[in-house]
Amino acid sequence: MTADLNATGATRLIWLLPVLPLAGFAVNVLFGQRLRALAGWIATLAVAASFAIAVAALFELLSQPADARTQILRGYEWFVSGDLRVAFDLRWDPLSAVMALVVTGVSSLIHLYSMGYMGHDDRRETFFAWLNLFVASMLVLVLAQNFLVMFLGWEGVGLCSYLLVGFWFNRRLLLVNPLGRLVEGEPDDTREVWAPPAAKKAFLANRIGDVGFLLAMFLIFATTGSLDFDVVFGQAGTLAAGTATAIALLLFFACTGKSAQIPLYVWLPDAMAGPTPVSALIHAATMVTAGVFLVARTHVLFETSGTAQTVVVLVGAGTALLAALIAIGQDDIKKILAYSTVSQLGYMFIGVGLGPIGYAAGMLHLVTHAFFKAQLFLGAGSVMHANDEDTDIKHFGGLRSAMPITFWTTMAAWAAIIGVPLTAGFYSKDQVLAALFEHGGVGRLAWVIGVVTAGLTAFYMSRYVFLTFFGERRWPEGRHPHESPPVMTLPLIVLAVLAVVAGVALTTFTGEGGRFQDFLEPVLGGPTEHESLTAAFWLSAVATLMAAAGGVVAWLLYIRPFDWLALRRRYAGAWRALADRLYVDQVYEFFTVTLGGAFAAFLARTVDQRGIDGAVNGVAELVGDGARSGRRLQSGLVRSYALAVLGGAVLIVAFLVFRP
């Protein structure tokens, strides 16, 4: 593909991309106590500097001809063991450039926001340290040139997710319904948000997925003899279909953990127990996209195995639909957004699971989603900040006059996510759906699911904004919602703007095909043919109509005076099912916690206490009893001893006399 892969110009500095945040982490860990407020600035500047370098390296890449845009920065050699050589080589190509820019850019904005949001927290220097560590790990993941280094970053972001979700480990956030029962028969909304179990759940779910990654690495090494991307992808075509399928499915299993797809998505909604900037950064824009990135990066392996691709598409579609359904039943604004993230991630996986026609679409959705989802989360944080950290949508309403900036920026992101034409979300979602339709076969089925989900997405997102910002005020007495400080609203504005214009900017710069796709084509391969314009128009129309329908239903229910609480009571069963997240968590909890706990108790009590301890103690008791009985021989009486001596003597004499 390229003759000389060595890094040139600004690309030579990409090693600074993970190192700067890592340095920020080190500084904040070592000197954070003394730095106090300065810690936030250090962290933000570290990430902003990484962003600047990434931009410079991007220009360096653009200055190269289109087919020579892969550059490798040889790094420190980690270890050599037999045939395996692993080094910290960094890869700079369009795909990693896109990811790096998204990660560092959105991170910078969120770091800035955090300086306001976490300003009063007494452990904020630790928070910024973890945030920086996270960015560093994510960049290692994105820039890696071999599987093991990527796994290092993979694990690192998992660790940081645990640390950050559990950041308020000493706080029990008890949110009692301050209005008393809203309506008779309405369930009590006393909710306890408790961080450590959520953090553990996140880490464990990720860990289970990581087993898949490890096994995939073992297989890769066993069949190709290397873990380096170029070597492995070069040999991808020679792999047996079965092996390739196994590897691809194992890698995808890891992605279901990291990127919250079926079956391992359950940690993401619980992870909302962490501070809102964490939700925005990790669980919307960056960590959860690592799975999509992985599939895109190893797309050659997936292409070799058609089965794996089908699995990815179907799981993505299924997850998108399931999550959208559950989101309809949530009253906690962060949970709504969490399930929305799971659903949108499903779209991304559909895109990258399709093959060449879908890669760019999936990646584009990744980028646009980062913008509008981060905005939505930060906006939710702003709403919570103004409402004493309340997250219950039933206690909001009519907030648009109290928080105008938050309102308008959130509306921009809302438009993007439901796919209002010309917004970023419109472009990316449409491209995914179009690619689906093109693909045929399982793609058509997924297209139907995708369109239905688009309608559901529009419904629940509209419900979210309508109930929060419109309608009558439902706040408790004594609450005075106000707009957030500039350090928080500035990122909101930037992200909102991006959510609106990014789509246009990235795809229609030059006429044919879209610039974003062209940029990624050397890495990911492009569609073999381009769809006709009319087909594209009709497909867009269908999707947009679905979205509009969803929005209208939401308007009917939530903007016009309508007793939606009564509706809830009427369909109490269905509502309960949706609100209880379709019982998936309960099932998992049964199998892991209950059964696992029972098994552990069995092992502890029966096997360990009675079995092993019993055996060991039994041996000791046996010896003791033996000794105690043997002790009785020592009577101390001379005559007993004499008797024994005589007995022995008689035996000897008898033996000597009567021996055969």
Partner 1 sequence: MSPVLAATASEQAELIVFIVLAPLAVVTALGMVLSRNAVYSALLLVVNFFCLAGFYVLLEAQFVAAVQVIVYAGAIMVLFLFVLMLLGVESHEALRETIKGQRPAAVLLALGLLVAVVAAIFAGVFDAEPTSLAAANEGGNVQAVGRLLFTRYTFAFEIAGVLLVVAAVGALVLGKRQRP
Partner 2 sequence: MRVGPSAYLLLSAVLFAIGVAGVLIRRNAIVVFMCVELMLNAVNLSFITFAKTNGALDGQVLAFFVMVVAAAEVVVGLGILVAIFRKRSSTSVDDVNLLKG
**Which residues bind to partner 2, rule: CB under 8 A?**
631, 633-639, 642-643, 646
Residue 458 and residue 545: Cα distance in Å, rounded?
A: 10
Residue 647 partner contact from partner 1, partner 2, none using kind-dependent CB cut-offs of 5 to 8 Å = partner 1
Residue 523 and residue 444: Cα distance in Å, rounded?
A: 26
Residue 533 interacts with partner 1 (CB under 8 A): yes or no: no
Of the candidates 83, 637, 659, 660, which one interacts with partner 1 according to CB under 8 A? 637
Residue 329 and residue 611: Cα distance in Å, rounded?
A: 49
Nearer to partner 2, 533 or 657 (CB): 657
Residue 658 interacts with partner 1 (CB under 8 A): yes or no: yes
Residue 640 interacts with partner 1 (CB under 8 A): yes or no: yes
Rounded to the nearest whole angstrom, what is the least distance from the CB of residue 635 to partner 2 in the complex? 6
Residue 567 interacts with partner 1 (CB under 8 A): yes or no: no
The Cβ of residue 219 has, within 10 Å, a number of other Cβ atoms equal to 17
Residue 633 interacts with partner 1 (CB under 8 A): yes or no: no
From the list 507, 534, 322, 518, the residue with the least C-alpha distance to 431 is: 507
Nearer to partner 1, 80 or 643 (CB): 643
Given its phi and psi angles, is residue 59 left (phi above 0), alpha (psi -120 to 50 degrees) or beta? alpha
Residue 129 and residue 415: Cα distance in Å, rounded?
A: 34
Rounded to the nearest whole angstrom, what is the least distance from the CB of residue 650 to partner 2 in the complex? 9
| Only segment of 342-350, 390-398, 564-572, 651-659 that touches partner 1 (CB under 8 A) | 651-659
Radius of gyration of the chain measured on its C-alpha atoms: 31
Residue 638 partner contact from partner 1, partner 2, none using kind-dependent CB cut-offs of 5 to 8 Å = partner 2
Residue 650 interacts with partner 1 (CB under 8 A): yes or no: yes
Q: Is residue 118 a contact partner of residue 127, using CB atoms and an 8 Å limit?
A: yes
φ and ψ at 71, to 5 degrees? -125, 140
Residue 593 interacts with partner 1 (CB under 8 A): yes or no: no
Residue 444 and residue 647: Cα distance in Å, rounded?
A: 99
Count CA within 13 A, CB hemisphere, residue 452: 15
Rounded to the nearest whole angstrom, what is the least distance from the CB of residue 625 to partner 1 in the complex? 22
Nearer to partner 1, 528 or 634 (CB): 634
Nearer to partner 1, 601 or 653 (CB): 653
Determine the residue type at 458.
A
| Only segment of 62-70, 164-172, 567-575, 648-656 that touches partner 1 (CB under 8 A) | 648-656
| Only segment of 200-208, 380-388, 583-591, 631-639 that touches partner 1 (CB under 8 A) | 631-639
Of the candidates 440, 657, 659, 660, which one interacts with partner 1 according to CB under 8 A? 657
Residues pairing with 173 in the sheet:
193
Of the candidates 1, 565, 619, 653, which one interacts with partner 1 according to CB under 8 A? 653
Rounded to the nearest whole angstrom, what is the least distance from the CB of residue 638 to partner 1 in the complex? 10
The Cβ of residue 444 has, within 10 Å, a number of other Cβ atoms equal to 13
Nearer to partner 1, 404 or 647 (CB): 647
Rounded to the nearest whole angstrom, what is the least distance from the CB of residue 646 to partner 2 in the complex? 6
Residue 144 and residue 95: Cα distance in Å, rounded?
A: 12
Q: Is residue 302 a contact partner of residue 248, using CB atoms and an 8 Å limit?
A: yes
Q: Name 654's Cβ contacts closer than 8 Å, sequence gap at least 6.
A: none
Residue 552 partner contact from partner 2, partner 1, none using kind-dependent CB cut-offs of 5 to 8 Å = none
Count CA within 13 A, CB hemisphere, residue 79: 4
Rounded to the nearest whole angstrom, what is the least distance from the CB of residue 632 to partner 2 in the complex? 8
Residue 169 and residue 626: Cα distance in Å, rounded?
A: 55
From the list 502, 523, 527, the residue with the least C-alpha distance to 369 is: 502
Number of residues that bind partner 1 (CB under 8 A): 14
Nearer to partner 2, 3 or 638 (CB): 638
Nearer to partner 1, 66 or 650 (CB): 650
Show the tokens assigned to 344: 């949108």
Nearer to partner 1, 76 or 655 (CB): 655
Residue 658 partner contact from partner 2, partner 1, none using kind-dependent CB cut-offs of 5 to 8 Å = partner 1
Q: Any idea what the Cα angle at residue 280 is, between residues 279 and 282, rounded to 5°?
A: 65
Residue 641 interacts with partner 1 (CB under 8 A): yes or no: no
Residue 3 interacts with partner 1 (CB under 8 A): yes or no: no
Show the tokens assigned to 359: 């890669």
Residue 639 interacts with partner 1 (CB under 8 A): yes or no: yes
Nearer to partner 1, 240 or 646 (CB): 646
| Only segment of 468-476, 480-488, 502-510, 647-655 that touches partner 1 (CB under 8 A) | 647-655
From the list 360, 368, 326, 357, the residue with the least C-alpha distance to 343 is: 326
| Only segment of 7-15, 264-272, 338-346, 632-640 that touches partner 1 (CB under 8 A) | 632-640
Chain centroid, CA 637 distance in Å: 81
Show the tokens assigned to 380: 């939710």
Residue 649 interacts with partner 1 (CB under 8 A): yes or no: yes
Q: Is residue 317 a contact partner of residue 175, using CB atoms and an 8 Å limit?
A: no
Of the candidates 173, 214, 545, 643, which one interacts with partner 1 according to CB under 8 A? 643
Distances (CA, A) of 292 to 80, 301, 346: 30, 14, 9
Q: Within the chain, what is the greatest distance between any pair of CA atoms?
A: 121
Rounded to the nearest whole angstrom, what is the least distance from the CB of residue 653 to partner 1 in the complex? 5
Nearer to partner 1, 211 or 646 (CB): 646
Rounded to the nearest whole angstrom, what is the least distance from the CB of residue 649 to partner 2 in the complex? 9
Residue 623 partner contact from partner 2, partner 1, none using kind-dependent CB cut-offs of 5 to 8 Å = none
Rounded to the nearest whole angstrom, what is the least distance from the CB of residue 639 to partner 2 in the complex? 6
Binding string, residues 123-162; x marks residues near partner 1 by CB under 8 A: ----------------------------------------
Nearer to partner 1, 34 or 659 (CB): 659
Residue 560 interacts with partner 1 (CB under 8 A): yes or no: no
Residue 631 partner contact from partner 1, partner 2, none using kind-dependent CB cut-offs of 5 to 8 Å = partner 2
Nearer to partner 1, 601 or 643 (CB): 643
Nearer to partner 2, 478 or 636 (CB): 636
Rounded to the nearest whole angstrom, what is the least distance from the CB of residue 629 to partner 1 in the complex? 16
Element (H or E) spanning 193, and its range? Answer: strand 191-194
Per-residue DSSP letter, 485 = P
Residue 636 partner contact from partner 1, partner 2, none using kind-dependent CB cut-offs of 5 to 8 Å = partner 2
Show the tokens assigned to 250: 């194992």
The Cβ of residue 602 has, within 10 Å, a number of other Cβ atoms equal to 11
In this structure, the dihedral spanned by the alpha carbons of residues 160, 165, 170 and 172, taken in order and rounded to 10 degrees, is 180
Given its phi and psi angles, is residue 262 left (phi above 0), alpha (psi -120 to 50 degrees) or beta? beta
Per-residue DSSP letter, 271 = G
Residues near partner 1, by CB under 8 A: 635, 637, 639-640, 643, 646-647, 649-650, 653-654, 656-658
